[in-house]
Amino acid sequence: MDPARIEAMLDFLALADRLKTVERRGRVPLPDGTTRRENSAEHCWNLALVALLLHREVAAEIDLGRVLSMIAVHDLVEIEAGDTYAYDPAARLTQAAREAAAAELVFGALPPDLGARLRALWEEFEAGETAEARFAMGCDRLQGFLQNVLSEGLAWKEHGVTRADTAPRMQPAMAADPAFAALIGALYARAAAGGMLPE
């Protein structure tokens, strides 16, 4: 392998490691009863586990390797753009532009062939047009919702999120497959029973 390619790959992996420092709004419950904010790398790991559990539960034939590849890269742009909270309308207005600029920097740090391959996976996830991208999106939405339920709705409560606020975000995931609808429906029931998500 070319020494310059080796250095570029190692430098990119060091850059990607910064995803561990990007905090999300979701809270992680700790054994002592406190919570801390989830980071984007933890989200990606948990999301990969969701995909691993669900890929044979959905009707569509899913290429799990492709899904896991998308999951691995889908939030790398947050290293430069930061995490955009799903229920922050002002931040969502600028999200696409911020993340496109970040993609240039993040994927541009790789040798061109590798950068193009990873960027194509990120773009596929964002476009949501393939079966794998729709499945990955469903898993992504499910994981975020689950994280909120696990922390007893703390982030929702902190930001005044209601059930109606969650509907536009969760409906595409629920429509993606009955398995997503069943799991998200069960989470809505848990949230309602726990008073986590007001009507």
With the C-alpha atoms ordered 104, 48, 18, 24, is the resulting torsion angle positive or negative? positive
Global pTM value = 0.95
In the chain, % helix, strand, coil (3-state, to 5) comes to 70, 5, 25
* CATH number corresponding to 3-193: 1.10.3210.10
List strand residue ranges (DSSP E) for the chain, in order. 23-29, 35-39
Distance CA 192, CA 183 (A): 14
29: β partners: 35
CB 99 within 8 A of CB 82: no
Q: What is the pLDDT of residue 199?
A: 84
Q: What is the pLDDT of residue 177?
A: 97
Which pair of structure tokens corresponds to residue 154?
A: 């703390």
Q: What proportion of the chain, given as a percentage, has pLDDT over 70?
A: 100
Distance CA 24, CA 100 (A): 19
List strand residue ranges (DSSP E) for 22-168, in order. 23-29, 35-39
Distance CA 12, CA 187 (A): 37
Task: Name the nearest CA neighbour of 78 among 96, 99, 92.
Answer: 99
Low-confidence residues of the chain: pLDDT under 50: none
- Residue 60 CB neighbours (<10 A): 12
